[in-house]
């Protein structure tokens, strides 16, 4: 089954690239598709802000006519949308185009839908009244058999979604948590993270599913669940102390190089993941001796392993040191951490000096 | 949490503007201008971290920037982010763009805003980096989150 999906996906780019190649449509399309280029060249040729304003207003009135004309095809609409995004980025109002962006996301084929969703995520905000019109499209796409559409819908949910409509899509997204494709599981976790951010009481009942995501065999899904855990532990660390063992195990595996080699960044294994885990451990171990004792080994190991002189290893070292300072103190670790900060402050790299001296102010006293 | 991603050139013209929190349009433009002025004054051998301007959100927010040729890449983050981690994130972002468009330059950002899904690329790079599959980055971090086996579908996601 997955071979068929792969074959189909491999064939897709070829199919889509063929259409511009066709003779007649291409000739008509070419001047249209270079209109963004023309607009930009026009702007860069101008010298004053006043002229730029005039040109953009002219462009915007052309676009207004184009988007409301009944003869505009979806393809042309896509092109108009890109120019609208550009104008909005420069600071000019293009609110007449918002409804058309939603329409594009609703009715377009894959490419057009993608531009439609992109435009919606850039133009609208969470309390915008037009956003409600998008909900139906999102629900439809979440139930689609086309994986790319599901991905796009999940992405837009995690970027911008009205709070009152969460109950409408929540069961669909919970369903996706068990999908066979890891990218969909990962996006579903991220969408739920977004829900947790805007309406935590609505996702209370699915904490059990987050635990499953934490133990997921795919590293991406597991890493996505860490965002949620970081937030929840920040709010209430005592509820999650039982997970300390799992986080320590995961960090041990990352530091020990057990992840697939894809996760190496300049031969450092998954640095951002390490940083995230260290932050979570910091929250869990604060003022708690028993929990902190579970972490000493892995912190020691991280300090030892981060020997390479790359920017990102400094980031990991910095996090390690902070964690060592925040949890229940252990003297050998504190000594190593202090040496590390010393090296930072003495380093010729200005960023490290700044961070080193900044963190010096948060060193704990020796009294406890 | 990342509050905003701004990319502008040496004259302050915005090339990519992505806010992850709601600001009205005039405030957005003001933020871009203010950030540009703050960042322009910085010497090349000074620290890459700045206190955020008053508009962005106050003392909890920092601006972390990198200057590549004609472009400034500025990330506005709060205290829950690791500064050095963000510096490397910017590096990952730029490397991604470089793989998307061979030898990327400012013109690529301008003319191919939608083709590379550029406005979404920061979100991709961010989420991809936080859940990373790095060496495959060249092939799929243009989209960043399709799994390794899937071929390059940069136009679709």
pLDDT reading at B152 higher than 80: no
* Interface with chain A: mutation pick from B107, B114, B125, B140, highest number of A CBs within 10 Å: B114
Residue ranges covered by each domain of chain A: 50-123, 146-235, 242-367
ipTM for the complex shown:
0.72
A40 contact B CB<8A: yes
Name the band, by pLDDT with cuts 50, 70 and 90, for residue A139. very high
Distance CA B32, CA B8 (A): 8
Chain B partners within 8 Å of A111 (Cβ): 155-156
Question: Measured between CA atoms, how close is A7 to chain B, in angstroms?
Answer: 9
Q: What are all long-range contacts of B40-48, with beta carbons under 8 Å and residues at least 24 apart?
A: B40/B10, B40/B12, B45/A350, B46/A350, B47/A350, B47/A351, B47/A353, B47/A354, B48/A351, B48/B83, B48/B87
Distance CA A339, CA A249 (A): 26
Selected residues 84-113 of chain A with any CB under 8 Å from a CB in chain B: 85-86, 88-91, 93, 110-111
Among the residue ranges A19-23, A217-221, B40-44, the one predicted with the least confidence is A19-23
| A272/B145 CB distance under 8 A | no
Among the residue ranges A234-243, A291-300, B93-102, the one predicted with the least confidence is B93-102
Q: What pLDDT sits at residue B157? A: 36
pLDDT reading at A134 higher than 80: yes
Selected residues 302-331 of chain A with any CB under 8 Å from a CB in chain B: 311-312, 314-315, 318-319
Listed in sequence order, the DSSP H helices in chain A are 2-21, 23-33, 35-45, 49-68, 74-90, 98-107, 110-123, 131-142, 147-159, 166-176, 182-198, 207-214, 219-235, 244-255, 271-285, 289-305, 311-326, 331-346, 350-360
The residue among A108, A169, A107, A162 whose CA lies nearest residue A130 is A162
Distance CA A296, CA A290 (A): 11
Q: What percent of chain A has pLDDT over 70?
A: 88
Q: What pLDDT sits at residue A287? A: 84
Query: What is the mean pLDDT of the segment spanning A97-124?
Result: 88
Among the residue ranges A12-21, A96-105, A158-167, A332-341, the one predicted with the least confidence is A12-21
Q: What pLDDT sits at residue A141? A: 92
Among the residue ranges A104-108, A225-229, B135-139, the one predicted with the least confidence is B135-139
Distance CA B63, CA B61 (A): 7
Please state whether beta strands B71-77 and B62-68 pair in parallel, antiparallel, or not at all (unpaired).
antiparallel
Q: In what order do the strands lie in the sheet with B2-9?
A: B14-19, B2-9, B71-77, B62-68, B49-51
The residue among A301, A350, A348 whose CA lies nearest residue A323 is A301
Q: What pLDDT sits at residue A21? A: 40
- Of B156 and A356, more confident: A356
A235 contact B CB<8A: no
Residue that is written with structure tokens 């920092």 in the block: B62
pLDDT reading at A97 higher than 70: yes
Question: Measured between CA atoms, how close is A47 to chain B, in angstroms?
Answer: 13
pLDDT reading at B115 higher than 80: no
Residue B63, φ and ψ in degrees, nearest 5: -105, 130
- Of A38 and B87, more confident: B87
Q: What pLDDT sits at residue A278? A: 92
Among the residue ranges A35-44, A149-158, A259-268, the one predicted with the least confidence is A35-44
Q: What pLDDT sits at residue A142? A: 92
pLDDT reading at B156 higher than 60: no
**Total count of residues recorded for chain B:** 157
- Token pair of B6 as six digits: 């701004």
Q: What pLDDT sits at residue A313? A: 86
Cβ partners under 8 Å of residue A25, min gap 6: A19
Print burial letters for A115-142: b (CB count within 10 Å at least 16), e (below 16).
Answer: bbbbbbbbbbeeebeebebbbebbeebb
- DSSP 8-state symbol, B74: E
pLDDT reading at A52 higher than 80: yes
| A355/B28 CB distance under 8 A | no
Of B28, B88, B157, the CB nearest to A312: B88
pLDDT reading at A183 higher than 60: yes
A217 contact B CB<8A: no
* Contact in structure between B47 and A351 (CB atoms under 8 Å): yes
Chain B partners within 8 Å of A224 (Cβ): 127, 130-131
- Of A305 and B141, more confident: A305
Chain A partners within 8 Å of B133 (Cβ): 220, 262-263
* Interface with chain B: mutation pick from A272, A315, A340, highest number of B CBs within 10 Å: A272
Distance CA A161, CA A121 (A): 9
Tell me the pLDDT tens digit for each residue of A276-285.
Answer: 999 999 999 8
* Contact in structure between A192 and A212 (CB atoms under 8 Å): no
Distance CA A32, CA A167 (A): 42
Of A110, A190, A315, the CB nearest to B156: A110
Chain A partners within 8 Å of B113 (Cβ): 36, 82, 85-86
pLDDT reading at B116 higher than 60: no
Query: What is the mean pLDDT of the segment spanning A85-105?
Result: 87
Q: Which fold has domain A146-235?
A: 1.25.10
Residue of B nearest to A124 (CA): B22
What's the whole-number average pLDDT of chain A? 83
* Contact in structure between A77 and A67 (CB atoms under 8 Å): yes
Distance CA A58, CA A352 (A): 50
Selected residues 163-182 of chain A with any CB under 8 Å from a CB in chain B: 181-182
pLDDT reading at B147 higher than 70: no
Q: What pLDDT sits at residue A153? A: 92
Residue A309, φ and ψ in degrees, nearest 5: -95, 65
- Of A31 and B44, more confident: B44
Instruction: Show the 3-state SS of A253-313.
Output: HHHCCCCCHHHEECCEECHHHHHHHHHHHHHHHECCHHHHHHHHHHHHHHHHHCCCCCHHH
Residue of B nearest to A93 (CA): B25
Print burial letters for B55-78: b (CB count within 10 Å at least 16), e (below 16).
Answer: ebbeeebbbbbbeeeebbbbbbbe
Q: What pLDDT sits at residue A138? A: 92
What's the whole-number average pLDDT of chain B? 72
């Amino acid at each position: 089954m997955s071979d068929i999906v792969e074959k189909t996906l491999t064939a897709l780019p070829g199919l889509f690239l063929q259409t511009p190649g066709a003779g007649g449509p291409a000739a008509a399309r070419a001047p249209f598709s270079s209109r963004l280029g023309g607009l930009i060249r026009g702007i860069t040729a101008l010298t004053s802000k006043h002229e730029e304003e005039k040109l953009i207003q002219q462009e915007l009135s052309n676009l207004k006519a184009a988007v409301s004309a009944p003869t505009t095809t979806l393809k042309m609409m896509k092109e108009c949308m890109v120019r609208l995004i550009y104008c909005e980025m420069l600071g000019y109002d293009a609110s007449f185009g918002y409804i058309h962006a939603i329409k594009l996301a609703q009715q377009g084929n894959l490419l057009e839908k993608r531009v439609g969703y992109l435009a919606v995520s850039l133009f609208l905000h969470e309390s915008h009244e037009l956003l409600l019109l998008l909900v139906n499209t999102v629900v439809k796409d979440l139930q689609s058999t086309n994986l790319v559409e599901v991905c796009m819908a999940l992405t837009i949910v995690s970027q911008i979604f009205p709070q009152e409509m969460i109950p409408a899509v929540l069961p669909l997204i919970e369903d996706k948590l068990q999908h066979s494709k890891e990218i969909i599981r990962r996006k579903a976790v991220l969408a739920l993270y977004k829900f947790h951010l805007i309406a935590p009481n609505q996702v209370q009942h699915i904490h059990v599913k987050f635990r499953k995501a934490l133990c997921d065999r795919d590293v991406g899904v597991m890493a996505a669940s860490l965002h949620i855990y970081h937030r929840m532990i920040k709010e209430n660390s005592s509820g999650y102390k039982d997970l300390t063992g799992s986080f320590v195990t995961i960090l041990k595996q990352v530091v020990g190089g057990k992840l697939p080699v894809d996760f190496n960044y300049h031969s450092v294994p998954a640095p951002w993941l390490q940083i995230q885990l260290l932050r979570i451990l910091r929250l869990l171990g604060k003022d708690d001796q028993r929990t902190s004792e579970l972490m000493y080994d892995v912190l020691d190991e991280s300090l030892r392993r981060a020997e390479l002189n790359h920017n990102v290893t400094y980031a990991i070292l910095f996090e390690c040191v902070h964690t060592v300072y925040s949890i229940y103190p252990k003297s050998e670790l504190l000594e190593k951490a202090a040496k590390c900060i010393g090296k930072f402050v003495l380093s010729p790299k200005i960023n490290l000096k700044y961070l080193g001296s900044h963190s010096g102010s948060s060193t704990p006293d020796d009294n406890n | 949490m990342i509050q905003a991603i701004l990319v502008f050139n040496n004259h302050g013209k915005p090339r990519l503007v992505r806010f992850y929190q709601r600001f009205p349009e005039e405030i957005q433009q003001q933020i871009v201008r203010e950030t540009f002025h703050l960042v322009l004054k910085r010497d090349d051998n000074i620290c890459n971290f700045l206190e955020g301007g008053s508009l962005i959100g106050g003392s909890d927010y920092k601006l972390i920037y990198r200057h590549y040729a004609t472009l400034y890449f500025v990330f506005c983050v709060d205290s829950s982010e690791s500064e050095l981690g963000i510096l490397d994130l910017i590096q990952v972002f730029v490397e991604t763009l470089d793989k998307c468009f061979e030898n990327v330059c400012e013109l690529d950002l301008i003319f191919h805003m939608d083709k590379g899904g550029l406005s979404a690329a920061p979100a991709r790079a961010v989420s991809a980096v936080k859940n990373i599959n790095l060496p495959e980055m060249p092939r799929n971090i243009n989209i960043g989150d399709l799994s390794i086996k899937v071929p390059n579908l940069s136009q679709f996601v």
